[in-house]
Amino acid sequence: MSHAHISVDNQIGPVGAVVSGVDLSQPLAREVIQEIHSAWLQHHVLFFRDQDLSPTAQARFASYFGELDQYPFMQPVDESAFVIPIIKEADATMNFGGDWHTDTSYKAYPPKATLLYAVEVPQEGGDTLFADATAAYAALSPAMRAALESWQGIYSPKLVHGQSGDYKSVAAKQNLGDAYGGNAEFAESEVEHPLIRTHEETGNKSIYCSKPHTINIKGWTRDESLAIFRFLTKHLTKDEFVTRFKWQPGSLAMWDNRCMFHNALNDYQGHRRHMHRVIVKGERPQ
Other Cβ atoms less than 10 A from the Cβ of 45: the count is 25
Give the residue with the Cβ less far from ligand SIN, 229 or 247: 247
Q: Which stretch binds ligand SIN (CB under 6 A): 8-16, 95-103, 200-208, 234-242?
A: 95-103
**252 neighbors 50 (Cβ within 8 angstroms):** no
Q: Which of 264, 268, 278, 285 binds ligand SIN (CB under 6 A)?
A: 264
Supply the minimum distance, in Å, between the C-beta of residue 160 and ligand SIN.
Answer: 11
- Binds ligand SIN by CB under 6 A, chosen from 57, 217, 260, 275: 275
Q: Is 130 in the site for ligand SIN (CB under 6 A)?
A: no
Write down the least CB distance from residue 1 to ligand SIN, Å: 27
213: contact with ligand SIN by CB under 6 A: no
**For the chain, the helix, strand and coil percentages under 3-state DSSP, each to the nearest 5:** 25, 25, 50
Contact flag: residue 251 with ligand SIN (CB under 6 A): no
Minimal distance, residue 39 CB to ligand SIN, in Å: 21
Contact indicator for 154, 214 with CB cutoff of 8 Å = yes
Report the distance separating Cα 42 and Cα 44, nearest Å. 6
In terms of Cα–Cα distance, which of 230, 153, 150, 163 is closest to 190? 153
Closest CA to 73 of 62, 84, 58: 84
Selected from 112, 213, 276, 277, the binder of ligand SIN by CB under 6 A is 277
Q: Which residues contact 59 (CB under 8 A, 6 or more apart)?
A: 68, 80, 82, 83, 278
What does each C-alpha distance from 226 to 85, 100, 220 come to in angstroms?
Answer: 31, 14, 10
Q: Is 86 in the site for ligand SIN (CB under 6 A)?
A: yes
Q: How many residues bind ligand SIN (CB under 6 A)?
A: 11
Residues that bind ligand SIN (CB under 6 A): 86, 96-97, 103, 114, 116, 128, 262, 264, 275, 277
